[in-house]
C-alpha cells in the first residue's frame, strides 16, 4: 500500500486539490482501488456509491469554481443511520432495507456545502444497538488490525473504513460510546460532541436524549476540521444549542502555541476495572501527558449503577422511538389485505427487527409499564441527575476527566454477542458522557500484542477545544497518527 492518497490527512489534501483540482480524480481512483482490494475482507460498508457517480460529483464540484470549502474534494464515509438523499439508509436492519430518504440530514448538507463528497454508507449494529457491529442484519464488520476481531460498535463500519484506507473522514453517532468504542478498537480518533452542538435532524433515533452525531478521523487536526463543519445551531432540531461555533482548527493551534497547563482527573475505578493489558498501555501514555499537566486521581462513587441507569433509559427511549415501525407508516412492507392490524404489526416487527433490537424494545416497554416505571425508569432518571451534579463538582476542580476508553481489548467475533452482560458492562467508561450530555474523545495511545488501546477524556459542556488540545499533545508525543492497517 504505497499510494500517497490513502493515508494523507484531509487538511493536506484540501490544499493540494485547491492548487490542482483535477488531482481529486486521481484521489478518488486511489480510494476506490483500495476499496476493491480490502472491502471483501473488512466489510465496512453497506452501500458504496459507484466510482462513476463520484467522479461526476467531482466534475460538478470543480465546475462550480468554489474551491474554498474546508473539505474541498474530500471523500467521507457516513454511518448508515444518517439520512442521505437518494442513497439507501438502512440502519443495518431488514426493517429499512430498501429505504431511500428524500432529504439530507443537516450534517450531510453541511458536508456538501464544505465541498465534501459522500462515498458510501457504513455498516453498524442494527439501529445502533450494540458494541461490536455484529448485530447488523447484513454481516459483521471485521477489525482491519485483526480480521478475527470486532472493530467495536455501533459505528464500527465508519472506524474500520478509516483505518483500512477506504475513506479519509467518517461520521458516526454516539448514544453510549458508539463513536469512541470503535475509535479505541481501531486506533482512530473519535469525538462525541456536547449534546446539542451537532444537529440530530436526519439521524434515525435510538435514544433521543443521548444520541449525538460526531466525527471520526485518523488525526486530531482532521477531527477538529470535520467538527467545525458539522457543528452549529439548526432550527430543525429542537435540542440544538443556539451557540456560535468556533473554528476548532484555529483554537487547536492557539492552545498548542500557548502550551496551556490543564488539570486532569484520573478516575481510579475505571482504570482498576480495566484489563491489565489496557491499564499498562493507557497508563504509560497518561504518565507522559501528566509530565506536562497537573494530574490527580479521583474516586467516582456509584460506578456500579452507571451501566444499569444508562440501559434502562436507553431501552425505554428505544421502545418509544421504534414503535413507529409498524409496516403502515414506516418500515417493512407486507401483505395487508384482509388481515387485522395486529397480524400485520406482528409480522412486520418479527421479520423486520433482529434479536438485539427486539430484546431492547421488550425491556424498554417493561421498565415503562405500570407498576415498574417508578421502580426502574424514574429511579434511573434520578440517578442521571445525581451523576450530572457529581460531575459538575468534579469540573469545578478539574478541566478534564481521564479513563481508558474501553476496559478490554478488541474481542474475537462472537465473544461479546454470546455474553450480553459482558457486552453491556464493557460500556461503563463511555456511557457517562451520554447520560450527562458532556463531550468526550477517544485517542489512540498504543497497541498490546498488535491490538489498539484508546484513552478517553471527558470535559464540561462545550469544552471540545480542550479535548482536541490533549489529543493533539498525545498524538505529537506518541506519533500514532494517520495509521492504516495493512489488512492481510
Quick: pLDDT tens for 414-453.
998 888 888 888 999 999 999 999 999 999 999 999 999 9
Q: What is the pLDDT of residue 9?
A: 98
| Active-site residue, selected from the candidate residues 83, 154, 173, 442 | 154
Least reliable range by pLDDT among 69-78, 342-351, 432-441, 470-479: 342-351
In this prediction, residues 384-396 reach a mean pLDDT of 98
Per cent of the chain over pLDDT 90 is: 91
Buried b (16+ CB within 10 A) or exposed e, 160-188: bbbbbbbbbbbbbbbbbbbbbbbbbbbbb
* 3-class SS of residue 458: strand
In this predicted structure, the answer to whether residue 373 has a pLDDT above a threshold of 60 is yes
What is the DSSP code string of 187-229? T-EEEEPPTTTB--TTBPPSSTTT--EEEEESSHHHHHHHHHH
- Check if the beta carbon of residue 11 is closer than 8 Å to that of residue 247: no
What is the DSSP code string of 19-75? H-TTHHHHHHHHHHHHHHHHHHHH--EEEE--HHHHHHHHHHHHHHT----TTTT-E
178 flagged as catalytic: yes
Q: How many whole angstroms separate alpha carbon 394 and alpha carbon 457? A: 13
Q: How confident is the model at residue 2 (pLDDT cuts 50, 70, 90)?
A: very low
Q: What is the pLDDT of residue 139?
A: 98
In this predicted structure, the answer to whether residue 1 has a pLDDT above a threshold of 80 is no
Ranges of each domain in the chain? 4-259+440-478
Q: What is the pLDDT of residue 108?
A: 98
| Active-site residue, selected from the candidate residues 93, 136, 178, 442 | 178
Quick: pLDDT tens for 167-181.
999 999 999 999 999
Mean residue pLDDT of the chain comes to: 96
How far does the chain reach from its first CA to its final CA, in angstroms? 11
* 3-class SS of residue 334: coil
Least reliable range by pLDDT among 216-220, 223-227, 254-258: 254-258
4-259+440-478 CATH, one of 3.90.1300.10, 2.60.40.1930, 3.90.1150.10, 3.40.50.2300: 3.90.1300.10
Q: What is the pLDDT of residue 166?
A: 98
Q: What is the pLDDT of residue 327?
A: 86
- Check if the beta carbon of residue 85 is closer than 8 Å to that of residue 43: no
- C-alpha cell recorded at residue 432: 457517562
Higher pLDDT, 450 or 370: 450
pTM: 0.97
121 flagged as catalytic: no
Q: How many whole angstroms separate alpha carbon 247 and alpha carbon 245? A: 7
Residue 252: C-alpha distances to residues 186, 249, 259, 454 (Å): 24, 5, 11, 21
Q: What is the pLDDT of residue 337?
A: 83
In this prediction, residues 97-114 reach a mean pLDDT of 97
79 flagged as catalytic: yes
Nearest to 277 by CA among 160, 445, 129, 487: 445
- Cβ neighbours, 10 Å, residue 343: 13
The owner of cell 492481510 is 488
Amino acid at each position: 500500500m504505497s499510494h500517497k492518497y490513502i493515508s494523507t490527512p484531509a487538511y493536506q489534501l484540501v490544499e493540494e486539490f485547491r492548487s490542482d483540482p483535477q488531482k481529486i480524480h486521481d484521489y478518488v481512483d486511489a480510494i476506490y482501488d483500495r476499496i476493491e482490494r480490502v472491502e471483501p475482507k473488512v466489510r465496512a460498508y453497506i452501500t458504496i456509491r459507484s466510482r462513476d457517480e463520484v467522479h461526476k460529483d467531482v466534475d460538478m464540484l470543480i465546475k462550480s469554481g468554489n474551491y474554498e470549502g474546508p473539505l474541498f474534494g474530500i471523500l467521507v464515509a457516513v454511518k448508515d443511520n444518517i439520512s442521505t438523499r437518494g442513497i439507501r439508509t438502512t440502519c443495518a436492519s431488514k426493517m429499512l432495507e430498501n429505504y431511500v430518504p428524500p432529504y439530507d440530514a443537516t450534517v450531510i448538507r453541511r458536508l456538501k456545502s464544505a465541498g465534501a463528497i459522500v462515498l458510501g454508507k457504513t455498516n453498524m449494529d442494527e439501529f445502533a444497538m450494540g458494541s461490536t457491529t455484529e448485530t447488523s442484519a447484513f454481516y459483521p464488520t471485521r477489525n482491519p488490525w485483526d480480521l478475527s476481531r470486532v472493530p467495536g460498535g455501533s459505528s464500527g463500519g465508519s472506524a474500520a473504513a478509516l483505518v483500512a484506507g477506504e475513506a479519509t473522514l467518517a461520521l458516526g453517532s454516539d448514544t453510549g460510546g458508539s463513536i469512541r468504542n470503535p475509535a479505541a478498537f481501531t486506533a482512530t480518533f473519535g469525538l462525541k460532541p456536547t449534546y446539542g452542538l451537532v444537529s440530530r435532524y436526519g439521524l434515525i433515533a435510538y435514544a433521543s436524549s443521548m444520541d449525538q452525531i460526531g466525527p471520526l478521523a485518523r488525526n486530531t487536526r482532521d477531527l477538529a476540521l470535520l467538527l467545525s463543519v458539522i457543528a452549529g445551531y439548526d432550527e430543525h432540531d429542537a435540542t440544538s444549542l443556539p451557540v456560535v461555533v468556533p473554528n476548532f482548527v484555529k483554537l487547536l493551534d492557539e492552545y498548542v502555541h500557548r502550551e496551556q497547563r490543564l488539570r486532569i482527573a484520573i478516575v481510579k475505578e475505571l482504570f482498576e476495572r480495566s484489563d491489565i493489558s489496557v491499564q499498562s498501555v493507557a497508563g504509560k501514555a497518561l504518565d507522559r501527558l501528566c509530565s506536562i499537566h497537573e494530574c490527580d486521581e479521583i474516586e467516582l462513587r456509584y460506578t456500579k449503577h452507571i451501566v444499569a441507569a444508562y440501559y434502562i433509559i436507553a431501552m425505554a427511549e428505544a421502545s418509544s422511538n421504534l414503535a413507529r415501525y409498524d409496516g403502515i407508516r414506516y418500515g417493512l412492507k407486507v401483505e395487508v389485505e384482509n388481515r387485522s392490524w395486529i397480524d400485520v404489526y406482528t409480522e412486520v416487527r418479527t421479520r423486520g427487527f433482529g434479536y438485539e433490537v427486539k430484546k431492547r424494545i421488550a425491556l424498554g416497554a417493561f421498565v415503562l409499564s405500570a407498576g415498574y416505571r417508578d421502580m426502574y425508569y424514574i429511579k434511573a432518571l434520578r440517578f442521571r441527575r445525581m451523576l450530572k451534579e457529581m460531575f459538575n463538582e468534579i469540573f469545578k476542580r478539574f478541566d478534564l476527566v481521564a479513563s481508558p476508553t474501553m476496559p478490554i481489548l478488541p474481542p474475537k467475533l462472537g465473544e461479546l454477542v454470546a455474553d450480553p452482560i459482558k457486552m453491556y458492562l464493557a460500556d461503563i467508561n463511555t456511557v457517562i458522557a451520554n447520560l450527562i450530555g458532556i463531550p468526550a474523545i477517544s485517542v489512540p495511545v498504543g497497541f498490546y500484542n498488535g491490538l489498539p488501546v484508546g484513552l478517553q477524556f471527558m470535559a464540561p459542556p462545550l469544552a471540545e477545544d480542550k479535548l482536541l488540545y490533549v489529543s493533539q499533545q498525545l498524538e505529537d508525543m506518541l506519533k500514532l497518527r494517520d495509521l492504516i492497517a495493512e489488512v492481510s
